[in-house]
Structure 1
């Protein structure tokens, strides 16, 4: 047989596209050519495949070999095509039955000795094949647990090229993939020992975290150093419920493409917590790359928390790059070769000191920052960015008496997470006929049409709307926040108290 065909998958962002791999062994000067918009890594597959075949005791055809990747206009990147190219050449050379190859998808990188090495992005690649009945995907054994997370797809784990070729030749039953592990049981903490009860003296901050977790809202904390802003932010994931299955697959796919999937578990069942350093670039935050576009911190925090500590230290263009994903829930990275879209629906938590010197701000303080310096420092947080933040909380230093008095009111993460779960269940019942899960996801049109509080409840906002101090976006944020407060108190609809509290939280007073 001169031509053999099989299939593989190319990833563009976190979306997989099926690729047909054709190999033609014909007359002509011996050599191999690869066509179909391959990148540098894929072009190097010629040498890896040749060495893998020879070292696996299979003859390399002494003929002209042409490998075509269809569709030709679709960019192909990465080393996951090695296995498909190798078996297509074996099929064209008559070593394995060519008619069997068209039934499978092949993903994996070949070592020079024929071993199969794990590759990034196995989960989204296998997900893209799940819509076809009876799909079978051949993957490296190290990626089998991740690939097995996709329901309705048969996964064949392979250790090396020789094992695969012998299976294709003899038609014996394929090796069994490990059964997918169920998501981890619900836990109240992301890391052992991290608990909301550790934060004493900040009752308003703890309450803000509870509201933030219940509705998926954004938060800005302003206060001097040492008051617990970072401690509060790190404990926000402990209040969040486990990810639902579809959300867990989304998060796991993004981390798989980025190559940062935790090695101990193929499925990420807990909301991620991402805290980039203030020296991070815009590409590191929203995603980018010169050849292969990778997801940034905003996408790695999808369905979780993105925490920017010392937020004014970030360059202003980096901070403003978050404005678009905060509204749309996704990031679009445009390059000359095309655009890539990454999911990015996260809770943004900002923490900032009131001035660069970060000294106490009481009358006997040692701060020497002028009002101009303070305005310039906090001015890096632009108005449009803060307009997208639902809650703004002042975190002040607590006296010894306040610390002792607050100890009797602190609650563990488990207790607060229970109230958060009940509030989310109320919101889920209300939003059951919609595609949204939390109050923060409700769009403006639906918010004013179906979920608008009564006119009496909206009275606290009349003054801000008349003076123009309250924008339309701010109005929407306050309305969403009032629904979350109503869910936490067990009310069917927000009343004046919830709307007034939401207005105060949005204003930061």
Structure 2
């Protein structure tokens, strides 16, 4: 007897329906075809033990299982549950004509318990698109899949529950989540707040500009100046994610198996801070079976690279293309996957190997050769892609002991959100551009028109600092953001002058 059960495979951040065909014939044997990986090939042992422990058995027949389309590589242990149900139906231990109405996924333990899977959200989206009645999966993933409306999502603990459901002996309760209510409830107070930061008013101003325009930023300063502390508070002033952004971000984390079991939907912007020993593949994604890397897990959020020169140069260089294109494409011989990677790059670094620069009282001095070797780890093209360079100086004792509380993140966020609203209206006709940092050359020329005095000021700065054409565009983008924060329709000389200040690493004495 032939049975068809439906599962799903995830490629990139999209799912594709897989038909699990199970045929019971005369003879003995277990044959699994359709390009399964090792984890799927080992499923017979898990399924045999699980069925035995819940009162069923592996039939003494010749079982042929095909994962269709057969020319598509399948991976992971999540096909255990659909294969097991197909075997039971083909061997007439259950008799259900409802199997074809559901997408069924889940790894089966030896005692019949179901283990969580990856990619539940994109699978649920695909199931709704293709008109399936429901999605049966492990309970740990139910909240994540239930984000998708117009689809019955059943989270189950044990294979026995699923068997009894298809035999009509037990009803399963669908998981119901009000996506919008869950999303807005999750916009709670941030863990870190700028109110905790003493002094550093100029750096806070830079952070506000960076958040308002989505600009990449690098903080340069000696140890203990507060670079990491400031970076960790940047998410608290970013505009809240839209529901679309939240779904997009959750999808990527779902594919990587990084979502929370409780909430399902990610409402907070991601903040990723990989260690400097990270590899190229871990940063941009890839592997034999491609998975999203840190830059994709940072999508719609922040990628924080602490102690930037300590990262391998080749690791930093692979970020150049994703920073421009805001997506990363991973190619293999038989397929290509694309992951979105629209993130804000926030980096920090010491100005020299010892941590101090041009400080005669520094406890550690570095020779010019050591400094050049240290700073040469960061290439000029990469720095060109960072809009704002700012020096962070140590906070004086008077500021540290000051009783007056600093401005709260909530107040800064209001100004940032207002500036973003201006940008949303500005780019409402564009599909790819949503805020100033994403502007292409044509949009820069259209929205960053300068008067003669501003042009002359920028020309002098370009010649004196020997800035590149890309740096010129970055200054214009930052100027546009500063003007938006002031509510100004045009860019004036004050905006240009402030933006030029934020190119510290282009000045004489840095990077040779």
What TM-score, normalized to structure 1?
Answer: 0.92
- What's the counterpart of residue 20 of structure 1? 19
- What's the counterpart of residue 461 of structure 1? 458
Long gaps (5+) in structure 1: none
Q: Note if contact 2:296-2:340 (Cα within 8 Å) is conserved in structure 1.
A: yes
Matched, 1:330 2:327: yes
Matched, 1:169 2:167: yes
- What's the counterpart of residue 393 of structure 2? 396
| Distance (Å, rounded) in 1 between the aligned partners of 2:79 and 2:105 | 6
Long gaps (5+) in structure 2: 508-512
Counterpart selection for 1:140 from 125, 138, 143 = 138
1:435-450 correspondence to structure 2 within 5 Å: 435=431, 436-448=433-445, 450=446
C-alpha change, 1:187 and 1:142, in structure 2 (3 Å) is closer
Counterpart selection for 1:423 from 419, 423, 431 = 419
Q: Note if contact 2:448-2:477 (Cα within 8 Å) is conserved in structure 1.
A: no
C-alpha change, 1:107 and 1:135, in structure 2 (3 Å) is same
| Distance (Å, rounded) in 1 between the aligned partners of 2:38 and 2:405 | 60
| Distance (Å, rounded) in 2 between the aligned partners of 1:121 and 1:317 | 30
SS across alignment from 1:16: strand
Residue 269 (structure 1) shift: 0.3
| Distance (Å, rounded) in 1 between the aligned partners of 2:343 and 2:273 | 12
Residue 401 (structure 1) shift: 4.9
After superposition, give the CA deviation of every residue in 1:163-188 in whole Å (9 maximum; x if it has no partner).
21222122875422243561153657
| Distance (Å, rounded) in 2 between the aligned partners of 1:421 and 1:301 | 20
Residue 303 (structure 1) shift: 1.0
| Distance (Å, rounded) in 2 between the aligned partners of 1:186 and 1:46 | 42
Residue 134 (structure 1) shift: 5.0
| Distance (Å, rounded) in 2 between the aligned partners of 1:442 and 1:394 | 26
Matched, 1:350 2:338: no
1:156-195 correspondence to structure 2 within 5 Å: 156-170=154-168, 174-180=172-178, 182-185=182-185, 187=187, 189-191=189-191, 194-195=192-193
| Distance (Å, rounded) in 1 between the aligned partners of 2:261 and 2:174 | 21
| Distance (Å, rounded) in 1 between the aligned partners of 2:69 and 2:447 | 46
RMSD: 2.4
SS across alignment from 1:474: helix
Matched, 1:88 2:119: no
| Distance (Å, rounded) in 1 between the aligned partners of 2:130 and 2:232 | 42
SS across alignment from 2:22: strand
What TM-score, normalized to structure 2?
Answer: 0.91
- What's the counterpart of residue 100 of structure 1? 98
| Distance (Å, rounded) in 2 between the aligned partners of 1:190 and 1:122 | 27
| Distance (Å, rounded) in 2 between the aligned partners of 1:245 and 1:112 | 39
Deviating beyond 6 angstroms after TM superposition, the runs of 4 or more aligned structure 1 residues are none
Residue 198 (structure 1) shift: 2.2
- What's the counterpart of residue 510 of structure 2? none
SS across alignment from 1:170: coil
Q: Note if contact 1:361-1:367 (Cα within 8 Å) is conserved in structure 2.
A: no
- What's the counterpart of residue 382 of structure 1? 379
Q: Note if contact 2:120-2:141 (Cα within 8 Å) is conserved in structure 1.
A: yes
> Which sits farther off after the overlay, 324-333 or 170-179?
170-179
Q: Note if contact 1:188-1:417 (Cα within 8 Å) is conserved in structure 2.
A: no
Q: Note if contact 1:134-1:152 (Cα within 8 Å) is conserved in structure 2.
A: no
C-alpha change, 1:175 and 1:402, in structure 2 (3 Å) is closer
- What's the counterpart of residue 246 of structure 2? 248
Q: Note if contact 2:217-2:389 (Cα within 8 Å) is conserved in structure 1.
A: yes
